[in-house]
Amino acid sequence: MMLRHWEGLQGQTPTQTPTRGDFRDRLNRTLRGFASAILTEREGEIVGLLLKGHSAKSTAKALRISPGTVRNHMKKIYAKLEVSSQAELFARFLEALARAEGGSDGGSVPLPRDGASSRS
């Protein structure tokens, strides 16, 4: 799905069309840097799995923690990123990916409106 979206974005610009390898490299770089300024390392791991389509249950299994712990992390992640669903999280990631293509800061996500940058 993201590859299809990416190819659609590329059709809008006169730049050279990236190869699948280029896309995967940019995707992985953006995924690693996505919201890293505001999320803890563990929250970043959870976001990575959620963005790859994992549920709370499969994320818990992959990280060897309880699904309840994953859901607690998700609440904190959603609050920090000011989103309320996995779909909104995915949309924020796509925005970061588009910015990475534009040559800006890549995977960063704007801080919450009050400027707080808590990593709790």
Q: What is residue 14's predicted lDDT score, i.e. its pLDDT?
A: 47
pLDDT digits (tens, 9 = 90+) for 61-118: 999 999 999 999 999 999 999 999 999 999 999 998 888 777 655 445 554 444 444 4
For residue 60, with 0-12 CB atoms within 10 Å meaning exposed, 13-18 middle and 19 or more buried, which class applies? buried
Q: What is residue 106's predicted lDDT score, i.e. its pLDDT?
A: 47
The residue among 90, 79, 94, 85 whose CA lies nearest residue 40 is 79
Helices (H), the chain: 2-10, 20-33, 41-51, 56-63, 67-81, 86-101
pLDDT digits (tens, 9 = 90+) for 5-59: 555 555 554 455 556 778 888 888 888 888 888 999 999 999 999 999 999 999 9
> Residue 18: inside a domain, yes or no?
no
> Residue 113: inside a domain, yes or no?
no
Q: What is residue 117's predicted lDDT score, i.e. its pLDDT?
A: 47
Residue where the block lists tokens 């989103």: 83
Q: What is residue 2's predicted lDDT score, i.e. its pLDDT?
A: 55
- Measure the CA–CA gap between 54 and 21, rounded to whole angstroms: 23
CATH code of 65's domain: 1.10.10.10
> Residue 95: inside a domain, yes or no?
yes
Residue where the block lists tokens 């000011």: 82
Count of domains forming the chain: 1
The tokens of 108 are what?
């960063």
Task: Give me the domain span that covers residue 56.
Answer: 34-99
